[in-house]
Structure 1
């Protein structure tokens, strides 16, 4: 499959998506697997095999030469791939992470465990503890509200996202001629693309 045909549709942005952290993680994992984890393969698919270049027997002697994986990719081809595939997929993940971050920091009156958590906290506040008789009696591990659990998941996923994008951008710069001449990194390039998209 050509890299240009990769598609990762953004799921409907609802609190249910965010609080279903298993599904949320699966969406992010599958999206990264389709693009970032296989970025070298995706870039190789952009190379059109030459029909005019004759076979060079020396290429079988030194595997580091004349390999498709080592061929530079035209700047225009890389730019199209970046703007039509890479950034839209990154944008899809960014939308989900940003939306869920808002959910994680908003009041959550629909939390099904809210009443039980409040009751446990109230009971704990009125409990008389004598650690001389039982040194473990003072230990209390309240259940986290689901917003706090979601916030923890998002912290981990955002850290993974930055690592993955750094790696993808590095590989693309190695393979593409003039992809990032300013060397400012993917953050500035992605922000510029996103601002341009919003203006159009």
Structure 2
């Protein structure tokens, strides 16, 4: 005679109420305002992976816009003859006239002034900081939401009860909801790693255009972040 099997539901670990989660999200404060071409960030956007990725797509397009303007500015510099010809040729070739120097500069060299480079650098740093802060804000929002999701005990006896269950858990079980929340949070954290890659790509373009430029920063938190960006981290 087969032994009787009794079903006992998996023990749930008490979760925070939705009100507690909303309070935690409210305590995070308001996120930094996004640029005009980027949608506003909100807790709802943070909790939707599709909307969040669309926001990041718009945000990251700003890097492309800045580097494109740098390339166009470089082309205009060559066309208008504001480039600097190589001094080595000027000093060692007596036939080198101002006209030929201008032609050489226009065809092969382009340089930005200190102020132009400083302006482009400030634009990049502002975008990078606001974008990174937006991602970190959304990570915190998802952590607060995850804390309110019901979870199950890790007690082996409780898991054994589930294995002996005569009926499966409903399709829309809390465990599935929790898995989705964890997945969203993990994806958001991955975006921080992607950020460093995107910054390095834009940084390479900037340094190739402004070889003689070195930014200055202070010892503030923002200054140290700027230094980290400059070092490609």
| TM-score, with length taken from structure 1 | 0.59
Distance 1:109 1:161 in 2: 26
- Once residues 147 and 193 of structure 2 are traced to their aligned partners in structure 1, the CA distance between those partners, rounded to angstroms, is 29
Counterpart mapping for 1:2-151 below 5 A: 8-9=37-38, 11-12=40-41, 14-35=42-63, 37=64, 40-47=67-74, 48-49=76-77, 50-51=79-80, 66=107, 71-83=110-122, 85-108=123-146, 114=149, 126-129=161-164, 142-143=175-176, 145=178, 146-151=180-185
1:178 corresponding residue in structure 2: 212
Are the equivalent residues in 1 in contact too, given 2:117–2:210 (CA < 8 A)? yes
**Corresponding residue for 2:194?**
160
Q: Which has the larger radius of gyration?
A: 2
The verdict on how the C-alpha distance between 1:170 and 1:147 changes in structure 2, with shifts beyond 3 A counting, is: same
Q: Answer yes or no: is the 8 Å Cα contact 2:112–2:209 preserved in 1.
A: yes
Q: CA deviation at 1:190?
A: 6.8
Q: Deviations over 1:146-173 (max 9, x none)?
A: 4312221112211111001011112211
Deviation per residue, 1:59-109 (Å, 9 max, x gap) = 8xxxxx836xx62322210111221x2122222212211111211322547
Secondary structure in 2 matching 1:106? helix
- 2:119, 2:72 → 1: CA distance? 13
Unaligned runs of 5+ in 1: 1-5, 60-64, 131-141, 194-200
- Structure 2 gaps of 5+ residues are 1-34, 83-98, 153-157, 166-174, 228-233
Q: Deviations over 1:136-195 (max 9, x none)?
A: xxxxxx52524312221112211111001011112211110333378xxxx9867248xx
Matching residue of 1:3: none
Name the residue aligned to 1:133.
none
- Count of residue pairs brought into register by the alignment: 157
Q: CA deviation at 1:126?
A: 2.6
Counterpart secondary structure, 2:107: coil
CA–CA distance in structure 2, aligned partners of residues 87 and 150 of structure 1: 27
Paired residues of 2:66 and 2:120 also in contact (CA < 8 A) = no
Which secondary structure state, in structure 2, belongs to the residue aligned with residue 46 of structure 1? Answer: helix
